Amino acid sequence: MQGLRLKGFSENRTITRQRERGKGLSAHFESSHFKESNRLVLDLTYAFDAPDGRPITREDMERIIPQVMDAHHALKEGRGDIYDGDVAMIGWQDLPEKIEKGHLDEIKSSTQELSSKIDAYVSLGIGGSYLGVEATIQALTHRFFNQLSRDQRGGAPEIYFLGQNMDPDFLRDTLDMLHGKRVGLNVISKSGTTTETAVVFRILEKLLEDNWGRGTRELIVVTTDKERGALRELARRKGYKSFTIPDDVGGRFSVLTDVGLVGLAMANIDIQEFVAGFRHMRKLCLTDDFWENPCLVHAALRHLAWLKGKKIEVVATNSVALYGVARWMEQLFPESEGHQGHGMWVSPSIYSEKLHANGQMVQEGERNIFETFLYLKEPDNEVSIPEVREDLDGLNYLIKQGIGMSHINRMVIEGPAYAHFKGGVPNISIEIARRNAFNLGQIYYMMERSVAISGYLLGHNPFIQPGVEAYKRAMFALLGKPGFEKAREEIEHELSRTKRIRI
Ligand code: PA5
């Protein structure tokens, strides 16, 4: 039997775009037409007066504006509870304007050089040193990127992510994918001390050295703090090419720093367009007119939802490609808001998939849910549905109305937005015109600023993560890391008096 041929399908437009980017072709992202046709729209139709017993009302919104405006001005002026040690952690705020073209060109030329030497690129990192890079690459490339030919990938190497967990099977499986290939690594860690990243880096660095000896130097890139930390020292000693994470930008706010830019450039994503998206949204978010400022409206609504007893934010998308963005939000918001008993749990979801699972709970479960849709309007591809004579499934009506898959996929948001609202779940839609770097930049900046405002409204510093440090300390102690002897003693003492319950 011959293999399947895609009769009636033209080339996947995601692949066409990858090829175009590989040739250095870029969109006219500075034109006003481009900006207008890629405007992010915040649809608040179902945000107010949901029948849930404690609805968010328009009056609530009007009442909270002065408080939100105070937060907005404090952030602009760099005032308030924004310090980690003696560093004000708001470097991300003006970063879009500070990035110079020369720096982007340098990233592009370094990544091109590395790309020409390798078949597969491995990005090592966790949390903010991982999620944004993966989310953006997934959003803008083919779902099965690594299984495509290099030509279909637009010349980019295969791309893998490691260091985000300590599962030996996951590592081992990924190594099998790297077998026989020329491999390049980018180890990303601001602190340089994160165990998961460090352990996997040690394993891979040795593997590369065992294969290519001194040649390894050209295959490893380090992204870390400008001066401090083990990785910076390692880069110095071994002569690895290095990139920096600014002091005043925390991990989850770092996708526009070298943390994100290097990985995106490896995938041939237009980093200038990405920066342009950030710049555009920054401009919108600096305006002092509340209703014209998407960051403020977004922050105010989410805060009101929390005040009204919403403890879960379902972030649902109708685009598999954008699921990573929802996962990026799952880090940005809870790590910044989950302090002192505050915050909403973010639950990333792909619809329709999750509508047939916890969709039941969203519709009829406890009314403690707020919902945010990442609503992709125009997918890369349209797929039409064939008309069949028997029509046993009764779907011919779709064809008669000229409805293809993408229209149904829009209803996958429109339908739940209406039904969930009726069931008492206030919701908002963030309409994303299409999958491009500009739109990703816009979303990221809007969310970063929104969560910063949220910190002011909640009354705590959103730029630190003492809770994450707590798990790190406990793990170091249990692993017997030097320097953590006292903590180990304390834990062991406590455990010796605790009867383990195992049935
Ligand atoms: O947002 C944060 O600061 C964290 O999620 C960090 O990005 C994460 O803990 C990884 O830290 P590092 O880059 O120091 O390895």
pLDDT tens, position by position, 62-85: 999 999 999 999 999 999 999 999
pLDDT in tens, 154-186: 999 999 999 999 999 999 999 999 999 999 999
Asked whether the predicted pLDDT for residue 261 surpasses 90, the reply is yes
| Ligand 1 close to Cβ of residue 257 (< 6 A) | no
Sheet holding 312-317, edge to edge: 41-43, 427-434, 369-378, 312-317, 345-350
Q: What percentage of the chain exceeds 70 in pLDDT?
A: 100
R_g over Cα of the chain: 24
Asked whether the predicted pLDDT for residue 390 surpasses 90, the reply is yes
- Asked if residue 414 is part of any domain, the answer here is yes
Q: Are residues 307 and 368 in the same domain?
A: yes
Mean pLDDT of the chain: 96
- Asked if residue 429 is part of any domain, the answer here is yes
Average pLDDT over residues 101-114: 97
- Residue 28 designated active-site: no
Domain end residue (candidates: 237, 269, 301): 269
pLDDT of residue 473: 86
Do residues 197 and 126 lie in contact, with contact meaning Cβ atoms separated by under 8 Å?
A: yes
- Asked if residue 185 is part of any domain, the answer here is yes
For a substitution probing ligand 1, which of 252, 256, 471 has the most ligand atoms within 8 Å of its CB?
252
Query: How far is the first Cα of the chain from the last one, in angstroms, to the nearest whole number?
Result: 53
Residue 417 sits in a domain whose CATH number is 3.40.50.10490
- Asked if residue 305 is part of any domain, the answer here is yes
What is the distance between the alpha carbons of residues 264 and 22, in angstroms, rounded to a whole number? 12
Q: Are residues 71 and 116 in the same domain?
A: no
List 335, 337, 371, 448, catalytic entry: 335
Do residues 263 and 133 lie in contact, with contact meaning Cβ atoms separated by under 8 Å?
A: yes
Domain end residue (candidates: 269, 297, 330): 269
pLDDT in tens, 31-66: 999 999 999 999 999 999 999 999 999 999 999 999
**What is the position in ligand 1's atom list of the atom closest to the CA of 194?**
15
Q: Are residues 112 and 193 in the same domain?
A: yes
pLDDT of residue 472: 86
Tokens for 299, please give them: 């922050």
Asked whether the predicted pLDDT for residue 392 surpasses 90, the reply is yes
Q: Are residues 483 and 448 in the same domain?
A: no
User: pLDDT tier at 471 (50, 70, 90 boundaries)?
Assistant: confident
Q: Are residues 366 and 319 in the same domain?
A: yes
Q: Are residues 195 and 173 in the same domain?
A: yes
Asked whether the predicted pLDDT for residue 470 surpasses 90, the reply is no
Domain end residue (candidates: 231, 247, 269): 269
**What is the position in ligand 1's atom list of the atom closest to the CA of 250?**
3
User: pLDDT tier at 500 (50, 70, 90 boundaries)?
Assistant: confident
CA torsion angle for 365, 371, 374, 377 (degrees, to 10)?
A: 80
Do residues 435 and 376 lie in contact, with contact meaning Cβ atoms separated by under 8 Å?
A: yes
User: pLDDT tier at 468 (50, 70, 90 boundaries)?
Assistant: confident
Q: Are residues 406 and 487 in the same domain?
A: no
Asked whether the predicted pLDDT for residue 134 surpasses 90, the reply is yes
| Ligand 1 close to Cβ of residue 194 (< 6 A) | yes
- Asked if residue 147 is part of any domain, the answer here is yes
Asked whether the predicted pLDDT for residue 16 surpasses 90, the reply is yes
CA 411 to chain centre: 24
Q: Are residues 415 and 284 in the same domain?
A: yes
**What is the position in ligand 1's atom list of the atom closest to the CA of 188?**
13
Q: Say how many domains are in the chain.
A: 3
- Asked if residue 44 is part of any domain, the answer here is no
User: pLDDT tier at 469 (50, 70, 90 boundaries)?
Assistant: confident
Asked whether the predicted pLDDT for residue 1 surpasses 90, the reply is yes
Average pLDDT over residues 417-427: 97
List 356, 400, 486, 499, catalytic entry: 356
Range of the domain at 136: 91-269
- Asked if residue 398 is part of any domain, the answer here is yes
Burial of 60 (0-12, 13-18, 19+ CB in 10 A): middle
Q: Are residues 488 and 442 in the same domain?
A: no
Q: Are residues 366 and 397 in the same domain?
A: yes
Q: Are residues 487 and 405 in the same domain?
A: no
- Asked if residue 394 is part of any domain, the answer here is yes
| Ligand 1 close to Cβ of residue 190 (< 6 A) | yes
Q: Are residues 263 and 201 in the same domain?
A: yes
- Long-range (24+ apart) CB contacts under 8 A made by 229-236 are 229/189, 229/190, 229/191, 229/192, 229/193, 230/192, 230/193, 230/198, 231/187, 231/189, 231/192, 232/192, 234/192
pLDDT of residue 117: 98
| Ligand 1 close to Cβ of residue 52 (< 6 A) | no
pLDDT of residue 267: 98
